[in-house]
Structure formats: C-alpha cells, structure tokens
Amino acid sequence: MQTQTVVIADDEVQLDGDLTIPTDAHAIVVFVHGSGSSRLSPRNQHVAQVLQEAGFATLLFDLLTAQEQRIDAASAEYRFNIPLLARRLESVLDWLLSREDTRSLTVGLFGASTGAAAALVAAADLLDEVGAVVSRGGRPDLARDALTQVEAPTLLIVGELDDDVIRLNQLAAGQLRCEHRLMIVADATHLFEEPGTLDHAARLACDWFLAKLMPPIG
C-alpha cells in the first residue's frame, strides 16, 4: 500500500492531496476536513489508516490553498463558507472520475466539523456519485436546505460530552429523509481526544462504509 501526493486542479485553484489505494480496493473514502484544519489532521489520518486496513482507498486533501489557509487562520473567512467548500469537494470528485485508477471506485465522504456540511451539500448535488456519508463531530446543520435532498446513507457521530453539537446534529437528523443514524460516543468531547474515543468513532465509520459501499460477499 503506497500513498502518492497529488495535485487536484480546477478552474480556480490547485489543491494538494494524499491518495492511497490498497490492492483490490472497491471503494474510496474522501475526507473533508473541518474548521482551521487540513489534510494533515492527525484525527482524520488515524481514521484513514483504519479504513485503509479494511481495504478502502482514501483521499485526504486540502480544501483551501496555502494562502487561503493563512487568511482563514487570521479571520475565519473561509471555514464557514459551505458553498465554496462544497464546490471544491465536487471538483475533487470530478477529478476522481477522470482518473483511471479511481473512476470505478464507489465513493464515500467522511466530513468533520464544517467539512461535514460540505460533504452533505456535495452528496445532495451529486446523487449518483456519493454512496455514503459519515460525519464526525460535524456541523451537518450548516448544510441547511440540502439536508432534505441527500439520498446517501448518512451516519452522524458525536461525542457524548459535546452538548451543543449533539443538539445541532439532532436538528439536522430531523431534516434528513435518507437512511441515517445518530451515534453518540461515550465520554468523548468535540475532538475525540479522550483515550479510545477516536478509535471507537473510526470503527463506527468503518462499519458504516463497509455496509454501504463494499460489494456483498458471495
């Protein structure tokens, strides 16, 4: 299993990414990082490793350019611009379809924080391209009207001690019309920094993607 650094270009920007494709992969999970983060998020990298070991290809990429990240760090100008983040993600999914080594892979989206909203907007816009969505500590409420249009099975994972985000996820779940589930990870705060909590979230995500993206055995 090897990871290659890739550059994903659209009409506006070039985005850096890390693409890993295990042998005989049938599906790929695209990570959509959250507020003030990047493809180097240690939490998303940990989840990606769990998925890779289960046979999934993964793509972690930067939603913002280096210059945009510097501006956002000072002003938070971009992190809540969900339409922009969703457009960037949709360009990335088009890029995957253009590649010989990824075009046949079923796509899942793993969103964290505001990235979860971008993932859900993209899933609503690209109904035929997204097979499943997982949100970890996400803000699915920020997807707003797109929530009613999502058809991909959606798992919302929230820490037990993240009270405000639990409430926002409950509100979002009430608007989803697709198959969905809200899972609460015991003793976890927003960033799942407590021992064992990130592993628990990663396993929940892996099981969801295995059930929704991988072909049946036999």
Q: Which of 151, 119, 125 is nearest to 138 (CA)?
A: 119
Residue range 141-159, pLDDT digits in tens = 999 999 999 999 999 999 9
Half-sphere exposure in the Cβ direction for 40 (13 Å, CA): 5
Task: Kindly state whether residue 218 falls inside one of the protein's structural domains.
Answer: no
What are the CA-CA distances from residue 167 to residues 56, 80, 140, 187 (Å)? 31, 19, 11, 16
Q: What is the per-residue pLDDT for 39? A: 85
Residue range 90-126, pLDDT digits in tens = 999 999 999 999 999 999 999 999 999 999 999 999 9
Residue range 8-63, pLDDT digits in tens = 997 678 999 999 999 999 999 999 998 777 788 889 999 999 999 999 999 999 99
pLDDT greater than 70 at residue 83: yes
How many structural domains compose the chain? Answer: 1
pLDDT greater than 60 at residue 218: no
pTM score, whole prediction: 0.95
The parent domain of residue 37 ranges over 3-213
**Backbone phi, then psi, for 120, in 5-degree steps?**
-70, -35
Pairing of strands 106-112, 130-136: parallel
Half-sphere exposure in the Cβ direction for 100 (13 Å, CA): 0
The CATH number linked to 143 is: 3.40.50.1820
